[in-house]
Amino acid sequence: MHHYIRGTLENVHQATPFFAGLAVAAAALAGRYGIHAWQAFKARPPKPRIRKFYEGGFQPTMTRREAALILGVRENATPDKVKEAHKKVMVANHPDAGGSDYLASKINEAKDVMLGKTKGSGSAF
């Protein structure tokens, strides 16, 4: 029995370097994979944040709240913010770029309401 235990211990001592080498190889492969994955992650093109604009359901007389929703600004936005937002929304919905005349008129009306140029008159359409 003593001879059996001694032989088993010798086999364990011989196998230890093999398992250690296997662990080092596995760690190297995992590290290599991690580096490639990180480089691919960093190299991917940035996703533009797409802002969702007001989807409509216009009221007969435009309110300041509705105008702010159309332009994507707060109701108490500064005139500069209103003009900047108007420009962005109008570029995306201009009739020359495939938008409709109706949407363009509502966007312009929203700008006028936000700037206090009108009391929220109804649309001509």
Residue 114: what residue type?
A: M
Q: What confidence score (pLDDT) does residue 14 get?
A: 62
| pLDDT exceeds 70 at position 79 | yes
Average pLDDT over residues 44-67: 73
Question: Domain residues of the chain, as ranges?
Answer: 1-44, 49-125
49-125: CATH number:
1.10.287.110
| pLDDT exceeds 60 at position 70 | yes
Average pLDDT over residues 104-121: 82
- Checking 65-69 for CB contacts under 8 A at 24+ apart, the result is 66/110, 66/113, 67/109, 67/110, 67/111, 67/113, 67/114, 67/120, 68/110, 68/114
Please state, rounded to an integer, the average pLDDT across all residues of the chain: 77
| CB atoms inside a 10 Å sphere around CB 84 | 14
Average pLDDT over residues 79-95: 90
> Do residues 72 and 89 make contact, with C-beta atoms less than 8 angstroms apart?
yes
